[in-house]
Amino acid sequence: MNGAEQLVRTLLAQGVDTCFTNPGTSEMHFVAALDRIEGMRCVLGLFEGVVTGAADAYYRMARRPASTLLHLGPGLGNGLANLHNARKAHSGIVNIVGEHALSHLALDAPLTSDIEGVARPMSHWVRTVRSAHEVGPDARDAVVAASRPPGQVATLVLPADCAWGEAGASTPGQAPVPISPRPSVDALTIAAAARVLASGEPTLILLGGIACFEAPLETAGRIAAHTHCALMTEFYVPRLQRGAGRVNVPRVPYAVDAAVASLAPYRNILLVGASDPVSFFAYPGKPGRQAAPGSCIMTVAAVGDDLDATLDALADAVGARHSAAVSLTARVQLALPDGALTAGGIAQVIAALLPQDAIVIDESVSAGNALGAPTSQAARHDWLSVMGGSIGWGLPAAVGAAIAAPARKVLALEGDGSAMYTIQALWTMAREGLDVTIVVFANRAYQILLGEYARVGAGSLGPRANGMLRLDAPTLDFVGLARSMGVEAGRATDLASLARELLRGFASSGPYLVEVVL
C-alpha cells in the first residue's frame, strides 16, 4: 500500500473516523485513499476556517478527535483562527496538511512555505513525515498527541511523495494506542483546599473544562451545600451542561466592572479546571486581574487533571458526599411573549422553545447578553462557547456538533458580523443535511465593538470610525444568502415571528436559518 492508504488505515485504527476536508493538488493521493478505503466520513468545507471550527466542536461533543485535511501552508493559514479557538478549548484535532514532494521543495514553487512555522503557534505537536514508511507511526503519534488530556491540536505535514510512495505491506501504527489517563491530584492539595473551605472565610470554587459537565457540577453543588461556598464557572466554557435538573452555576461576567464586582466578596478562590480570572482586554484605569486585591488564588486541579476525581475527593474531605446539591434547577415553562424584539423577549422565546437535549452554539456576542438566566431554566442542554474569542466560529462549530451528535438538535446563535467570516458553513450544512437551526442576530453592526470603543476610552465616535464598525450600506440579506446555499430560511421582525420561525427550524430535520432583524 502507499503512504496515503497507510495514513487512512492508521487513523481509522486509532478511532479517527471523521475528516473535515478542503484538499488541493498535493493531497490527491490522500483523497484517493479516502475514496478507496471504507470507514471515514469526509465532510467538505468551502473554506479552511469551516474545517477547523467544525473539528473543534466535534471534539467537544464526541470527546475524541477528528482529522482535518488542509492544503499546504496557505490552507493551514486560512484555518488558524479557529485552531486558535480549538487550542483555547483544549480540543483534540489531527490536522493533516499536504506538502510538496520533498524533492520539489528546493525549487521554491509558488505555494512553498514554512508549514511547520505556520502550524506551531496554534499546535501543541507538529511533525513532518520524512518517508512513506514513516506515515503509519507518525499518524499514530499524531492521534496520541491530539488525545492527550485535556486535548491538543496535532499537525502532521504529509509531503506528496510520502503519500504516493510505497509504504510496504505491513501496517505499522495501526494497533490502537491506549490514551493517557488524566493525572490525579495529590492528597495534600485536596487537604489544603478542604481547610480553606472549612475556614469560614468567603470562598468561591471557580470551575472550568470538564468540571462543567453534569456529574462534577452536581458534586460541586454538594460541596457548596455543605460548606456554604459559592460556585461560578469561567465566562467561556468549552461545554457547559445546564438546564432543568442540573446544578445552575453562574458564569463570571464578561464586562470587567461586573466581573470585578462579582468576585469582590471572596477571600479565597479555588480553581478546579479554571484559570486565574483575567479581563478579556486591558482598559485604561481598570484591573487586568479580576479577583479582589489580596485574595488567595489556589489551583486545586489544572484543566488536564482528573476533575471528576478531584471534586469527589474534595467532597469526601469536607464530609459532603451525601449532601443534597445546591441550586438544582427546576424546569420553568415560560410563556411565549409577543411585541417588539427586545433582548429579554428574545431570551424568553428561546428558553421557552429550546428542545430537550439541544446543543447550543453561542457566538451571539452582544445580542445574547440576556440569554443566561432564562435558558438556565429551560430543557436540559449543552452550551458551547467560542473559547478563543476569534469570531467566525459559530457556524462551523454547528457543523461539527451536528456530525458528532446526529440525534440531537443544534441551535446556533450567531451575530451577523461573525457569520460573515465563515458563511460558507451553511453550504456544508445543506450538503450534509444537518439538523441545525441558525439564528442570526442582524443588528447591522459590529455591535460589541461600538460598546468597546467607549469602554477603552478612544474618544467620540466620528463618521469614519463609525463606518468601520457598521454593516449597513449595503444591508446583508441572510435569508437570501442561506437560500443561495441550499438552506431554508425565514425572517423575524417581532417576538411572535421569532417563535414561529424557531418552531419551523426545530420541526425540520435539516438546516433552517432565522434572520432576526434588530
Verify cis geometry, omega within 30 degrees of 0, for the bond prior to 474: yes
Percentage of residues in the chain with pLDDT exceeding 70?
99
For residue range 435-454, list pLDDT tens digits in order.
999 999 998 877 778 778 87
Three-class SS state of 344: helix
Mean pLDDT across the chain, nearest whole number?
95
The CATH class, in words, for 3-164 is alpha beta
- Residue 513 has a pLDDT of 98
The model's pTM: 0.95
Q: Assess whether the region 187-318 and the region 343-517 belong to the same CATH fold.
A: yes
245 alpha-carbon distance from chain centroid: 24
Span 343-517 CATH architecture: 3-Layer(aba) Sandwich (3.40)
- Residue 173 has a pLDDT of 61
- Residue 171 has a pLDDT of 63
**How far, in Å, CA of 351 to CA of 335, rounded?**
10
Selection from 326, 371, 329 nearest residue 351 by Cα: 371
- Residue 242 has a pLDDT of 96
- Which residues make Cβ contacts (< 8 Å) with residue 403, sequence separation at least 6? 18, 41, 43, 54, 58, 432, 434
Element (H, E) at 99: strand 93-99
**3-state secondary structure string, 437-481?**
EEEEEECCECHHHHHHHHHCCCCCCCHHHHHHHECCCCCCCHHHH
187-318 maps to CATH 1.10.10.10: no
**How far, in Å, CA of 481 to CA of 23, rounded?**
25
Q: Which residue type occupies 517?
A: V
Distances 33 to 52, 147, 321, 370 between C-alpha atoms, Å: 21, 24, 52, 48
Q: Where are the domains of the chain?
A: 3-164, 187-318, 343-517
Torsion of CA 515, 481, 55, 40, to 10 degrees: 130
Collect the ranges in the chain with pLDDT lower than 70: 170-173
Three-class SS state of 517: strand
Q: DSSP state, 338? A: -
